[in-house]
Amino acid sequence: MIDPDKLLAWMFEDVVQEYDENFSMLYALSIGLGGDPTDASQLTYVQEKGAVPLKAFPTMAVVLGFPGSWMADPRTGIDFSRIVHGEESVEWNRPLPAAGKVIARHKVISVEDKGADKGAVIAYDKYLFDAGSKELIATVRHTTFARGDGGFSGSSLAASRRAATPVEAPIPQRSWKTTTLPQQALLYRLCADRNPLHSDPATARDAGFEAPILHGLCTYGVAAHGIVAQWCGYDSDRLKRLQARFSSPVTPGDRLTVRSSMDGATIRFDVWNETRGRIALSNGTAVVAD
């Protein structure tokens, strides 16, 4: 059973990761950049010797400094077999370099008991620093729904809690369409999560899926690609914040539409899965700079 105070005090080792331009290009390719290999704006993220210096796509922050499957540790009291990724948000303080060394520090922010038959919600932050300058690059909040762990007593909540207010679906001002690659999950797993659910057909079938599914964070990166393409002219340095809720899985090869509208500096968006006829990402909010 979950002990919320124990989780809130969970100690993480710093994760140090060094990466090169090849890694940045692989990440960009894995979320669909370079889909038009003649588009100079996209080539900025996938070509190291172009007219414009290579840039790292900002959502690469979600895969850098991965702390491992710490929730699988029996001491957490979490039923690891029943967790699902609920939401993800990133706030950027500065652009990621195309190659560099980062330090990731993690902290559990909140543990919320939804009820005995409703599970628990656990949010933890990753603070991503440049290893050289010690400057904060980004803060990443990862929210997990622990479906088998509700009903614990004496729940303690950290002062900072995740936003639970639903965001209204946008009335789209713009729509951006893309078709995921059949091999997209195989590309994305090289950047971080190698869970066989995303690569092994037998594992996927055992989990109730017809085929391996795309990583939710890959769909999140695709959404960011769509926002940057529609609203930022492919200048990803303008993206300052991105948040979304994972609503349904995507199968590699599915056709997706990022539907969005802007009010001031805030963009509301969702991701519609054209192939499945359902929402893949909901409650999407992005903030962009002028």
What's the rounded mean pLDDT across residues 97-110?
A: 97
Say yes or no to pLDDT of 156 above 50.
no
Say yes or no to pLDDT of 153 above 90.
no
Query: Sheet of 266-273: strands edge to edge?
Result: 15-19, 100-115, 119-130, 136-146, 83-92, 239-246, 278-288, 266-273, 255-263, 174-179
More confident residue, 80 or 14: 14
Which range, of 18-32, 108-122, 217-231, 268-282, averages the lowest pLDDT? 108-122
Per-residue pLDDT, 167: 54
Q: Which residue has the tokens 């971080």?
A: 192
| Residue 271: both structure tokens together | 């991701």
User: Out of 83, 137, 142, 193, which one is annotated catalytic?
Assistant: 193
Per-residue pLDDT, 160: 37
Confidence of residue 100 (pLDDT cuts 50, 70, 90): very high
User: Out of 213, 227, 267, 279, which one is annotated catalytic?
Assistant: 213
Give the pLDDT confidence of 161-174 residue by residue, as tens digits: 444 455 555 678 99
User: Out of 65, 119, 150, 216, which one is annotated catalytic?
Assistant: 216
Full set of structural domains in the chain with CATH:
1-164 (3.10.129.10), 174-288 (3.10.129.10)
Query: Which H, E and C letters describe 248-264, residue by residue?
Result: CCCCCCCEEEEEEEEEC
Per-residue pLDDT, 207: 87
User: Are the C-beta atoms of 224 and 57 separated by less than 8 Å?
Assistant: yes
CA distance linking residue 194 with residue 265, whole number of Å: 36
More confident residue, 145 or 81: 145
| Residue 219: both structure tokens together | 């769909």
Per-residue pLDDT, 201: 96
Say yes or no to pLDDT of 155 above 60.
no
What's the rounded mean pLDDT across residues 137-152?
A: 92
Say yes or no to pLDDT of 154 above 80.
no
Q: What is the DSSP string of 139-194?
A: EEEEEEEETT----SS----SS----PPPPPP--SEEEEEE--TTHHHHHTTTS--
User: Are the C-beta atoms of 227 and 261 separated by less than 8 Å?
Assistant: no
Q: What is the mean pLDDT of the chain?
A: 92
Distance between terminal CA atoms of the chain? Answer: 48
Residue 106 is among the residues annotated as catalytic for this protein: no
User: Out of 65, 100, 149, 198, which one is annotated catalytic?
Assistant: 198
CA-nearest of 198, 196, 234, 236 to 218 is: 198
Say yes or no to pLDDT of 237 above 70.
yes
Give the pLDDT confidence of 182-235 residue by residue, as tens digits: 999 999 999 988 889 999 999 999 989 999 999 999 999 999 999 999 999 999
Residue 31 is among the residues annotated as catalytic for this protein: no
Residue 193 is among the residues annotated as catalytic for this protein: yes
What's the rounded mean pLDDT across residues 1-15?
A: 94
Confidence of residue 264 (pLDDT cuts 50, 70, 90): very high
Residue 216 is among the residues annotated as catalytic for this protein: yes
